[in-house]
Amino acid sequence: MHNDNLVEIEDVEFGYGDRPVLKGVNLTARRGQVIAIMGSSGCGKTTLLRLIGGQIKPGRGTVRVAGESLGELDRAGLYRLRRKMGMLFQFGALFTDISVFDNVAFQLREHTDLPEDAIRDLVLMKLHAVGLRGAAQLMPAELSGGMARRVALARAIALEPMLVMYDEPFAGLDPISLGITGNLIRRLTDTLGLTSLVVTHDVQESLKIVDYIYFVSEGVIVAEGTAAEIRASDLPYVHQFVHGEADGPVPFHYPAPSYADDLRLGKQRA
Amino acid sequence: MPTTCDWENSVLKRSIENLGNRTLQGVWRIGFAARFFVAVLLHSGTAFRRFGLTIREMYFTGVLSLIIILVSGLFVGMVLGLQGYETLQTYGAEEALGILVALSLVRELGPVVAALLFASRAGSAITAEIGLMKATEQLSAMEMMAVDPIARVVAPRFWAGVISMPLLAALFSAMGIFGGYLVGVQLIGVDEGAFWSQMKSAVDLERDILNGVIKSVVFGVAITTIALFEGYDAPPTAEGVSGATTRTVVTSSLAVLALDFVLTAFMFRGFN
């Protein structure tokens, strides 16, 4: 039976030491969709990506990618599955000692026996897809933040994976680069038949390109739905997040003792 | 008499706890380093199958260390020539200067001083590079691309260090002998024939040169393992990488000196 879900996360719990991060998360990503995982900083979004990539293992629950349970895979099995995944790290994570061309060619050289001529053509095609064919010979240090992320995207799709994960792809980008990156994610997903998982807190850009959204807060999924459903949601957390309100279910103030007590009001000062 | 409460908050108790904690952490780190070393050995296939990767790292760790090694070797040899002549002429044995210079360099100064310079020049660079690769998620990116960073990044650097170290020590000794020759023969006027012939008859291939090579290989293993482990284990922050780089230089320098004593004891005393 063909399973339409590429990623399935069931009742997953995970913590760093004694600090629980995820407390029973359920999430599915259908093939060919762009899925956004949103939530405030530190809510466990990136941890979810690391679980899907098999970099960490859940304390409880199962993570399945393409029908394979990551917890049951040995190292070789995990590496075999990762060849079908691409990941775009927050600041690109390009290899700084090699050129843009060599960065994109990296996986092709590591995992295939293609002749150098074929690798050259493939790399230039991937760079052309992200608009940076002319930057092939530049070093990563010569790129702007937006360009570095586009190169990282070209590198992530070099082996034509079935799943691409994006960790905060819009963070720190100017409006033009932001629009370009958003459009690229949508366009590459559609043209290459990928499934994209985007971890972000950029609501406005994400709502333009995604098919489905999960909201994570305090280690659980608090809301989910299509872009239209999320826009229309009257859940207080989603409302606060989508409209960028300073106070609400996510309080403005970090937990602290009473303000009056801290200022020692009503008490005689020494 | 101190109460329980006093003991709970006392500086002495905190100091003992701190000492115990540091000791435990130290033992843990030694265990992790040993596991790391075994993992590097087990994942060394790539470093040999694709020897170009190792040669590239030999350029960074070995070739770029040449200037400091050659210049230091020259000056150490020149100082040995001066000091050796001063002492030997007291006993009328200045023609033995060649022996003194060669044995000092081949047995001890060559491997040890070259290793200390290697730890400062190449060891610190390896730690900083690996630490920054970790901090900028380059190692995670490699793992996500199904490429093992231990096999692809760490092992070639390890073998490059292990191969480079004896070559650098040999060049240090050769340059030192040349420095001793310049000062002893050309400047002071020791007989050239005696300088070279006494050196040739006194230096034994197995006892002196081979032992020197063994020492420098062991130092190469120690320095590159420490440098790579510190980089791989560094907290992914500027402060973390800076601390790891400092630890590499301090720990590997001390390891070289301690290992030198142990190796010398076995090689030249033999405990028999």
**Residue B5 in contact with partner chain A when CB distance is under 8 A:** no
| Closest of B183, B179, B217, B162 to residue B71, by C-alpha | B179
Backbone phi, psi, residue B118, to 5°: -65, -40
The answer to whether A45 and A213 are in contact (CB under 8 A) is no
Q: Cβ–Cβ of B152/A110 closer than 8 Å?
A: yes
> What integer pLDDT is reported at residue A17 of this predicted model?
79
Mean pLDDT of chain B: 92
Q: Please return the burial class of B270, using the count of CB atoms within 10 Å of its CB with bins 0-12, 13-18 and 19+.
A: exposed
Residue of A80, A93, A110 with shortest CB distance to B141: A93
Residue of A89, A110, A111 with shortest CB distance to B141: A89
**Residue B146 in contact with partner chain A when CB distance is under 8 A:** yes
**Residue B42 in contact with partner chain A when CB distance is under 8 A:** no
- pTM of the shown model: 0.84
pLDDT of A2 higher than 60? no
Preferred mutation among A46, A84, A87 to probe B, highest tally of B CBs within 10 A: A87
Which residue from A minimizes the CA distance to B148?
A: A79
pLDDT of A213 higher than 80? yes
Q: Cβ–Cβ of A55/B144 closer than 8 Å?
A: yes
Preferred mutation among B134, B138, B144 to probe A, highest tally of A CBs within 10 A: B144
Long-range Cβ contacts of A219-227 (<8 Å, 24+ apart):
A219/A20, A219/A21, A219/A22, A219/A23, A219/A24, A219/A25, A219/A43, A219/A44, A220/A22, A220/A23, A220/A24, A220/A25, A221/A25, A221/A26, A221/A27
Instruction: State mean pLDDT over A244-268.
Output: 75
| Closest of B110, B14, B117 to residue B65, by C-alpha | B117
Which residue from A minimizes the CA distance to B56?
A: A97
Q: What's the pLDDT band for A183 if we cut at 50, 70, 90?
A: confident
Q: Cβ–Cβ of B136/A93 closer than 8 Å?
A: yes
> What integer pLDDT is reported at residue B164 of this predicted model?
96
What gap in Å lies between CA A141 and CA A61, rounded to an integer?
41
Evaluate the CA torsion angle B111, B116, B117, B120 in order and state its sign. Answer: positive
| A67-109 tens-digit pLDDT | 888 888 888 899 999 998 988 888 889 999 999 999 999 999 9
Residue with more model confidence, A206 or B212 = B212
Backbone phi, psi, residue B35, to 5°: -65, -40
Domain annotation for chain A: domains and CATH numbers: 5-249 (3.40.50.300)
The residue assigned the tokens 């350029």 is: B59
> What integer pLDDT is reported at residue B63 of this predicted model?
94
Q: Cβ–Cβ of B144/A95 closer than 8 Å?
A: no
Widest Cα–Cα separation across chain A: 82
Domain that holds residue B161: 43-269
Q: Cβ–Cβ of B138/A96 closer than 8 Å?
A: yes
Q: Cβ–Cβ of B140/A106 closer than 8 Å?
A: no
Q: Which residues of A touch B138 (CB under 8 A)?
A: 93-96
pLDDT of B155 higher than 90? yes
Interfacial B residues in 241-270 facing A (CB < 8 Å): none
Residue of A82, A94, A95 with shortest CB distance to B144: A82
Which residue from B minimizes the CA distance to A81?
A: B146
Residue B158 lies in a domain: yes
What gap in Å lies between CA A209 and CA A184, rounded to an integer?
10
pLDDT-wise least confident of B71-85, B106-120, B198-212: B198-212
Residue with more model confidence, B69 or B93 = B69
Residues 6 or more apart whose CB falls under 8 angstroms from that of B8 comprise none
Strands A60-65 and A68-69 come out as: antiparallel
Which residue from B minimizes the CA distance to A104?
A: B145
Residue of B144, B147, B152 with shortest CB distance to A53: B144
**Residue A53 in contact with partner chain B when CB distance is under 8 A:** yes
pLDDT of A141 higher than 90? yes
The answer to whether B160 and B270 are in contact (CB under 8 A) is no
The residue assigned the tokens 């937006």 is: A146
The answer to whether B258 and B116 are in contact (CB under 8 A) is no
Which residue from B minimizes the CA distance to A153?
A: B141
Q: Cβ–Cβ of B146/A82 closer than 8 Å?
A: yes
What gap in Å lies between CA B19 and CA B231, rounded to an integer?
25
What gap in Å lies between CA A16 and CA A22, rounded to an integer?
10
User: Which two structure tokens, joined as six digits, stand for A37?
Assistant: 């995982």
Distance of CA B146 to the CA centre of its chain: 33
**Residue A56 in contact with partner chain B when CB distance is under 8 A:** no
What gap in Å lies between CA B259 and CA A39, rounded to an integer?
53
- Count CB-CB contacts under 10 A for residue A15: 15
Residue B25 lies in a domain: no
Q: Which residues of A touch B241 (CB under 8 A)?
A: none
Q: What's the pLDDT band for B249 if we cut at 50, 70, 90?
A: very high
What gap in Å lies between CA A85 and CA A54, rounded to an integer?
11
Interfacial A residues in 86-105 facing B (CB < 8 Å): 86-87, 89-91, 93-96
Residue of A55, A80, A106 with shortest CB distance to B145: A106
Which residue from B minimizes the CA distance to A159?
A: B145
Instruction: Count the domains in chain B.
Output: 1
What gap in Å lies between CA B128 and CA B135, rounded to an integer?
10
**Residue B52 in contact with partner chain A when CB distance is under 8 A:** no
**Residue A6 in contact with partner chain B when CB distance is under 8 A:** no
DSSP letter string, chain A: ---SEEEEEEEEEEEETTEEEEEEEEEEEETT-EEEEE-STTSSHHHHHHHHTTSS--SEEEEEETTEEGGG--HHHHHHHHTTEEEE-TT----TTS-HHHHHHHHHHHH----HHHHHHHHHHHHHHTT-GGGTTS-GGGS-HHHHHHHHHHHHTTT--SEEEEESTTTT--HHHHHHHHHHHHHHHHHHT-EEEEEE--HHHHHHH-SEEEEEETTEEEEEE-HHHHHH---HHHHHHHHT-SSSSS-SSPS-S-HHHHTTTTS---
DSSP B63: G
> What integer pLDDT is reported at residue B3 of this predicted model?
57
Instruction: State mean pLDDT over A206-233.
Output: 85
Residue of B137, B146, B152 with shortest CB distance to A79: B146
Residues 6 or more apart whose CB falls under 8 angstroms from that of A259 comprise none
Q: Provide the b/e sequence for A190-202 (b: ≥16 CB within 10 Å).
A: eeeebbbbbbbbb
Inter-chain contacts counted by CB atoms under 8 A, chains A and B = 44
pLDDT of B206 higher than 90? no
**Residue A83 in contact with partner chain B when CB distance is under 8 A:** yes
Q: What's the pLDDT band for B272 if we cut at 50, 70, 90?
A: very low
- Count CB-CB contacts under 10 A for residue A210: 25
Instruction: State mean pLDDT over A194-210.
Output: 86
Instruction: State mean pLDDT over B162-176.
Output: 96
- Count CB-CB contacts under 10 A for residue A101: 19
pLDDT of A150 higher than 80? yes
Let me know the angle formed at the C-alpha of A215 by A214 and A217, rounded to the nearest 5 degrees: 145
Residue of B138, B145, B152 with shortest CB distance to A82: B145
What are the C-alpha distances in Å from B116 to residues B105, B106, B159, B215? 14, 15, 18, 13
Q: What's the pLDDT band for B271 if we cut at 50, 70, 90?
A: very low
Residue B29 lies in a domain: no
Residue B37 lies in a domain: no
> What integer pLDDT is reported at residue A120 of this predicted model?
94
Query: Coil, helix or strand for B108?
Result: helix
Residue B224 lies in a domain: yes
Q: Cβ–Cβ of B145/A93 closer than 8 Å?
A: no
pLDDT of B160 higher than 70? yes
Residue with more model confidence, A121 or A44 = A121
DSSP B131: H
**Residue A85 in contact with partner chain B when CB distance is under 8 A:** yes
